Every structure is written in structure tokens, then in C-alpha cells.
Amino acid sequence: MGENNSGSEVPANQTIYINNLNEKIKLDELKKSLLAVFSQFGKILAVLAFKTLKHKGQAWLVFEDVSSATKAIQQMQGFPFYDKPMRIQYAKTKSDVITKADGTFVPRERRKRHEDKGKKRKEQHDASQAGMGLNPAYAGAYGAAPPLSQIPYPGGVKLPEAPAPPNNILFVQNLPQDTTPMMLQMLFCQYPGFKEVRMVETKPGIAFVEFGDEMQSTVAMQALQGFKMTPQNSMSITYAKK
């Protein structure tokens, strides 16, 4: 009879269940922030959070594979997300049950075919992108945030290559278009000395992050350099030019 208690052990699976989330945050922003913080661990198929009272302060993330879910649980347990430590575990419910509830359920064999089609489309898309350089889907010339030295300034003068000397403000590039200051705050506030995030509305894809001094900004820069906000967007961090 002693075997019954093993039933309480949730087997490792690709869906994680997060609770103790800040209930004041709008659902849309919550989903985007979760996506930004967790996509470093692997491809996320779905982020689910519901308005109902029963599901408040909770969310489910479906990863493409189990190892991503495991890494996410190990590294993000207790992470201060909107000022509340996250509690994370493997989801008890099968992902399909959740996706059915969310209306995004695709039967497995259809899903496979759908993915293959998506892959083909992506390859063609990538090939055409390679020929075009910047993705036109990104609004404006600053879209994909090329290195600062390549951004044309009025009169066609390019900025000099020389990097700025170390200082307390970081210049962050190559951010996804829908990054919000709050998402960046989530990432940078884990490091001592964090003061604030500043974004320029007319230039999506870039931000300035201020710390108390250059030692503190350097620690954050080294820790988050190349951090993947999405599979396509690896953060590029330099010192801001003053």
C-alpha cells in the first residue's frame, strides 16, 4: 500500500505551472513578460493565463521539450517577478487539456504536419530575408536594431566605431519590437544598483538601463549579454555614449 504516495509526484513534462504571480498585472502584459523571461530556456509553444477568479495569479507555459521545462524550473524558482517570488512546478494537467481549454488545441498528427509546413515557410522566409537584410515587418529603420555604427544618421554620416568607455548606463539593442520597460526591469532588477529603464518610443528595439555605478552596470552587462528575449533576439549590451 505504500506505493500510493508516489501518485503525488508529478512526472516531468513539457508544461510548467507557475503560481504566486502578481494579480494586478494585465493578462496581456503578464503573458508577454513570461515569454520574454522564459524563452531563454527553449521554444515556448504556448503561454496560458486566464481571467477567472479560480486561475488568478497562475499561468502555464508549454515548452517544446521537457529539458527546457526542467531548466526553467531549476533556474527561475523564486525569481522576483513583478515583486513576487514565482513558485514553479511541472503541470499536473496534460498540455492538450490546457490547450483545449484555451482553444488552441491541435491533434498531434495535424500538429506535426502543421509544423513541417511552418518550417518550410520559415526556410523560404529566411532565404528571402537573407537577400533583403532588414525585415520589412519591423516598423521603421530602427526595427531590428542593427549595431549602432550601422544606423544611418541624417546626412549619411556613420557613427564612429569606438565603443563608449565604461559607465553606469547600459545601451541595450536587438530587443523584440513589443518589449516593454517592465519586461526589461524584470531582467535587470535582479542585479544590485539597478535604478531605471528608459526606452525611446520612436526607436523600438533599443533601451537604456541605468545603474548606481559602472561596477554594477558591468556585472549586469556580463550576466545578460546575449540573453535571448526570443529565439531570434539576442540582447546586445554596450556602455551608453554620454
- Assess contact for 177 and 138: CB atoms under 8 A: yes
pTM of the shown model: 0.44
pLDDT in tens, 17-32: 999 999 888 888 888 8
- By the 10 Å C-beta count (0-12 exposed, 13-18 middle, 19+ buried), 12 is classed as exposed
Q: What DSSP designation does 89 have? A: E
pLDDT in tens, 108-143: 555 555 556 666 565 655 554 444 444 444 444 444
Q: Where in the chain is the domain with CATH 3.30.70.330?
A: 15-102, 169-239
CATH H-level superfamily of 15-102: RRM (RNA recognition motif) domain (3.30.70.330)
- Assess contact for 22 and 85: CB atoms under 8 A: no
- 169-239: in CATH 3.30.70.330: yes
